[in-house]
Structure 1
Amino acid sequence: MTKNIKAQNKKFLKLLFVIKKVTEVLSRKIKQNRRGRPRKFNLFQIIACLVYKVKKGVKSFRELEYRINQDTEFKQVVGIEESPDYSYFAKLSRKIEKEYMQDIKDILIAKIEPDMSIAIVDSTPLRSAKNDSEAKIGIHITIGFFRGYKLHLLCTGKEEVIPLFWILTGANEHDSRQEELLYRAWGYNCEIVLADAGYDCSRWFNIANELKVKFVAGINKRNMKDKNNVKNVFRSKNIRFLETEEGKKLYKQRTKIERLFSKLKGEYNLENVRLKGFRNYKRYIDWILITFLFEQLLRKLEGKKFSFAYEWNQ
């Protein structure tokens, strides 16, 4: 890497340094195939380009190829003479997403070391292009009926609000069907999981009880006739817990995930791209969240506290 870089790009240079350190750890985990010609671009260079795509708000690989070729400083920093071809980006990004994405996420979370004692689950609507044939019709409490997808997210709920696991579905998928989020929370040794009223169903409470996880959900009044006569014993306990001061104080922390969605939509342009196709939207979301994790690791290394404020307000 070079020190010959403009002052306004120093933060991005630091981010590239973090990416390089993470890819070095990842490379040690991957069984390298030494047969054939060496690759023209290494793993660090490709991941750096895909993070560059997120940070610069680039919508397509064709545009990414053009923007990188125009950015002499970036090419010099990552050590390439010219941008990979857009078709090469498509091929390598599929390989990384299929084979290495989980490893990248695990390495980042392990290095950030967030407090996982409390986790939060929720979803947010993602509207797609009008002519997207794969999009579904869904309904949301604030925007009403919409066409697109849903991002279901599990994140930490203490001082640092860090994404742990996410699922993209059609807009018509109900939140309560995403039980995998609860199993993932258990896998991360989360002791408490918070959720809104959309998850208030017997199935979630029964699974949480089997996993020995304390599940706290908002009260879904449409899913019961009388809150004093709820058949499921765990839902009944949850209702009584939410009426206590401890329950009210704990449940207030659930709003942190909504603030995280707001940050991702406002600073990372999570929704307003109007992409077409499930695969394109999933790739776009995956790299936004991975970039967010890279930046949180950078903040950790610099000794900065987590903040919901947008980058330009910090």
Structure 2
Amino acid sequence: MVYTDVTPLDATVQEPPIVQELQRLFGNLEDAPLLEALIGPTRRGPKGHPVYTLWRCFVAKYVLGLASTAALIRELHNNPFIAEACGISSPDAIPHESTFSRFFARLSKYNTAAKVKDVSRALVRRFYEDKPGFGKRVAIDSTTLKGWVNGGKSAPSDKQAKWSVKKNTHGKEEFILGYKLHLMVDCEYELAIAANVSPGNTHDVARASNVLREARFGTKGSFQPAYVMADKGYSSRELRTLIARQYGATPVIDIPASHKRALATYGEQTTLPGYMALKKQRTAVERVFSRLKGQCSLNRITVRGLRKVTVHCYLSLLSMQVSAIAGRCASAHSSLPRKSAEPLFGQPLLVPCGAPQ
């Protein structure tokens, strides 16, 4: 059977919904200081592509979950509506892959990388303003990211990537050459609050204090958790003391069976009412990792060096954060009836300085 297209030649082509969504996302980014830093002083010669166009292209790349810069360029060629939303008016105006590479290198410089973090921090502060009870129950964990590096006997192409060893779901050890993303998320809304990126051989507990400091600094004092949850990899006397005394929160951290002194000191906590309910909420951070990897290109690293990988991780994070604010892919828990934010088992437990591990 033959179908005839009867669409009038002068009919207006309706733009797809993704274009309006991207425009909402761009409008919710507090990126003016970043763009100003990227523009820099006026110089002679060709002006090149507008800075805001290149920035929007990278944000769209992570929001759409595209695997690489080449995939981004193909998408811009195949979908002129997305290109127009990014500020590109014609196919000839689509930047070359080398242009995107140079722009990402500029994003990864010390000053501009800090301003990329500021964009994410501003979104987190919006969460504290708009979402009741946000940040009261938080969880910390890390995930290993395979670097864009060879793992053979020859010298690695990324000298800052390090080996990490972790058991998989089958109990077998996996060796990965790359980096670690240490993340703190709100357990109810399942949204990131603070992050830290390190080489793959960094122990989880060694960066927990960095993540806590980033949460306090980035939120400008709004970070006042009631409970901080983590798995047994974070079990240490120093971390429990830090959480209780510096942040006034109750540490809900699994205790390994080999930590006899910790079991003797904190074992009572596991018998208190509501402990298991809090412990189960810790898996929120694992679901956030899953969405970041599946939807926001977190595990698709195509850059080398700690600073560039850090910018890559923050672009993935802020794409999820701004999507939640714009209503594109908010956490599934955001629409559920709110649970009480009151303590489940009394006031935060203050740990004595001299308590054994």
**Shorter-chain TM-score tier:** 0.7 to 0.9
Relative contact order higher in (CA < 8 Å, ≥ 6 apart): 2
Question: Conserved in 1, the CA contact under 8 Å of 2:53 and 2:86?
Answer: yes
- Counterpart secondary structure, 1:84: coil
Distance 1:24 1:290, change over 3 A: closer
Spell out, residue by residue over 1:55-87, the C-alpha distance to the aligned partner (whole angstroms, 9 max, x if none).
444444355345424432222233323122333
- What stretches of structure 1 of length at least 5 have no aligned partner? 229-235, 310-314
Q: Which amino acid aligns with 1:163?
A: A
Out of 24, 30, 34, the position equivalent to 1:17 is 24
Is 1:122 the counterpart of 2:152? The answer is: no
Matches within 5 A, 1:149-228: 149-158=179-188, 160-178=189-207, 179-187=209-217, 188=219, 189-191=223-225, 192-214=227-249, 215-224=251-260, 227-228=263-264
TM score, norm. by length of structure 1: 0.78
Offset at residue 27 of structure 1 (A): 6.8
Higher mean C-alpha deviation, range 191-200 or range 137-146? 137-146
RMSD: 3.2
Report the number of matched residues.
292
| Larger radius of gyration between Structure 1 and Structure 2 | 2
Q: Which amino acid aligns with 2:126?
A: K
Q: Aligned equivalents of 1:147 and 1:31: distance in 2?
A: 34
Identity %: 19
Distance 1:20 1:177, change over 3 A: same
Residue in 2 that maps onto 1:290: 318
Q: Aligned equivalents of 2:98 and 2:213: distance in 1?
A: 37
Question: Conserved in 2, the CA contact under 8 Å of 1:138 and 1:147?
Answer: yes
Q: Which amino acid aligns with 2:100?
A: F
Offset at residue 226 of structure 1 (A): 7.2
Matches within 5 A, 1:1-314: 4-6=13-15, 9-23=16-30, 26=33, 35-36=42-43, 40-80=48-88, 81=90, 82-97=93-108, 98=110, 99=112, 100-113=115-128, 114=131, 115-128=134-147, 131-132=150-151, 133=156, 134=158, 135-142=161-168, 144-148=173-177, 149-158=179-188, 160-178=189-207, 179-187=209-217, 188=219, 189-191=223-225, 192-214=227-249, 215-224=251-260, 227-228=263-264, 236=265, 238-271=266-299, 273=300, 275=302, 277-279=304-306, 281-299=309-327, 306-307=331-332
Between Structure 1 and Structure 2, the one with more helix by share is 1
TM score, norm. by length of structure 2: 0.70
- Counterpart secondary structure, 2:229: strand
Distance 1:305 1:22, change over 3 A: closer
Q: Aligned equivalents of 2:86 and 2:301: distance in 1?
A: 30
Spell out, residue by residue over 1:179-234, the C-alpha distance to the aligned partner (whole angstroms, 9 max, x if none).
21122344442322111111110121222233133222111223336722xxxxxx
Q: Aligned equivalents of 1:142 and 1:284: distance in 2?
A: 25
- What stretches of structure 2 of length at least 5 have no aligned partner? 1-11, 335-357
Question: Conserved in 2, the CA contact under 8 Å of 1:19 and 1:47?
Answer: no
Offset at residue 29 of structure 1 (A): 8.3
- Counterpart secondary structure, 1:154: strand
